A and B are shown apart, each in its own frame.
Chain A
């Protein structure tokens, strides 16, 4: 029987296989940030261990970093201590580190691809669940806990068991104004936040093949929101074109050898998936979430659902609790929901393409009077590129705030937080209770919906905007 792409990558990395034990899997790239690593480094020190492959390890500061006053010390002493611990640990163990404000700094899942460190067929881990992002290159990439971070630092391997295989096929042409974010929100709404549990998801089909690398990263990024530890897409010419010439991409004869190997990374015709989901791209519209998990999403043309309409008791109770937390009434059209803050950024949608889409809609227009919009590039390099293209001026002239790079309001570990009761339209990945600040209410949206919403102050599709100005 044939094998899937994920199975091929997995098998290429098995160091040791013994009946009755997990496989030992080799890790090609380990990304490290300040939040989930300090206890791992302490563990190494306590046991007298070293980092086996500092040359396969890359570190940056992202979760805690402020997005204003980048040259000043971090004001929050606890955040500062965590960032300082990372600097001390990486210096002691000889790991490359990209500190705040420097060229290579940014959200860990933005800088890996940008540096060309993320390549097809690799195994990539990080103490962060959105590591699935790197699957966009045909890598097997997944989030791990701090004990496993320590294990990878010490041995460059992880004990693993093969996952089940799921295919999500999206065929057809995406309507104008519908993006990768809408695809993945629709997938999660369809299969639920537990739909991918125990599985690796392979995204396939003509609509996926037609996406840019940035868009593919958006989709793979949110695999974890469907419960899957990893999601991936077969590498193709789009992947190779993105990688060619990047700082850590292979060069010369190495490039040819690498591309030849990468071309083999495809699911066999006769491979079998444990579960298959098919979605028609042409049927998709902009999606927004109404609840407190990423599976509670609907087309923007819909209304807030009535919990009584949920057949399943658990779903009904979850919907009731979500509406109470979100301060929403069943039957309210999604387009009538007023938001206070729009957040454009995160490892889901903080890349140059995302900023371009939003800037195009904002150009020559103004953010609504009672709405604030934060634009937080995913990395210093994304910020610099946007500034070269003049996007920063578009944002600031529209009345949005142009910030420094980091995770920012996706999870509010830095000062960028929602106030209690405040409502956001956010291009991030989680609408959990309190995720963006205590008592904050989050609607997950695409960059285009975020920009359109900023202009009207209510959840708005880009197409609505054309009708307004027509």
Chain B
């Protein structure tokens, strides 16, 4: 995972609520067995069927911050939704509310998800609609989103923030506690099932 400290870029306003993972990337695009190349499936139905879809507009082609309505990422656990956004050039998604699994996956894939109050999300959507070249800064160290003369604070727990800023791999962190895992395994009840064929 790449470390994330601060990012400045332009924002694409996605004025839709409950954007589900099947819209972010439909199932037929999940068949790839590599970890890259998922941009072809990103919002593919809307890109194909809706000429006015925000990402079809040339002025938002270079956007790296997606500013979406509430409940972004509902549905499937597919981390491919994170990968498709990253492969599509996005570093940050801002929304008033995220689905749990999507948000959790984002802390593993390096896509930053930022929760802002609905009024601030709408203000940022308005601002990037009025001026698609508007520069928006997402500062993980300061826990702030800044654009024009506005600064809006966001919350993220210290541990996740530290991991993201260091770009740390969870597995490596857990492997420092192998003796705890050994100790736990030693006291598991013997009747717990194994998958070994009986």
Contact = CB atoms under 8 A, between A and B. Distances in A.
Contact of B193 (A39, A116, A257, A412): A116
B109 A119 contact: no
Contacts of B54: none
B18 A63 contact: no
Interface string B162-185: 000000001101110110110111
Contacts of B20: 293, 430, 432
Interface in B16-38: 16-18, 20, 22-23, 26-28, 30-35
Interface in B135-193: 158-159, 170-171, 173-175, 177-178, 180-181, 183-185, 188-193
B27 A148 contact: no
B113 interface: no
Contacts of A255: 191
Contacts of B125: none
Interface in A52-68: 52, 54-58, 63-64
Contacts, number: 200
Nearest to B102: A145
A45 interface: no
Contacts of A24: 174, 177, 180-181
A427 B195 CA distance: 30
B193 A248 contact: yes
Given A96-B197, A257-B189, A22 B159 contact: yes
Nearest to B196: A55
A190 B109 CA distance: 33
B70 A257 contact: no
Contacts of A148: 104-105, 108
B181 A63 contact: no
A306 interface: no
Interface in A30-79: 35-36, 38-39, 42, 47, 49, 52, 54-58, 63-64, 76, 78-79
Interface in A98-157: 116-117, 119, 122, 127-129, 131, 142-148, 150-151, 154-157
Contacts of B26: 434-435, 438
Contacts of A258: 189, 191
A224 B185 CA distance: 30
A379 to B, nearest CB: 16
B198 interface: yes
A217 interface: no
B93 to A, nearest CB: 15
A128 B27 CA distance: 12
Contacts of A54: 195
Given A96-B196, A147-B109, A318-B18, A78 B31 contact: yes
Interface string A201-229: 00000000000000000000000100111
B3 interface: no
Contact of B180 (A16, A82, A116, A151): A16
A330 interface: no
B193 A29 contact: yes
B120 interface: no
A301 interface: no
B171 A49 contact: yes
Given A15-B181, A314-B17, A57 B195 contact: yes
A144 B174 contact: no
A147 B76 CA distance: 15
B74 interface: yes
Contacts of B189: 257-258, 261
Nearest to A420: B49
Contact of B99 (A16, A64, A131, A227): A227
A147 B108 contact: yes
B77 interface: yes
Which 8 A-B residue pairs are closest in the complex by CB-CB distance? A145-B79, A147-B108, A145-B105, A143-B77, A38-B33, A254-B191, A432-B22, A129-B77
9 contacts: A15-B181, A78-B32, A82-B31, A131-B77, A147-B79, A155-B171, A155-B181, A198-B100, A227-B99
Given A36-B77, A56-B194, A155-B178, 17 more contacts: A24-B180, A39-B35, A55-B195, A63-B30, A117-B193, A119-B193, A122-B192, A145-B101, A147-B170, A148-B108, A150-B171, A155-B174, A197-B71, A197-B100, A227-B74, A433-B45, A438-B45
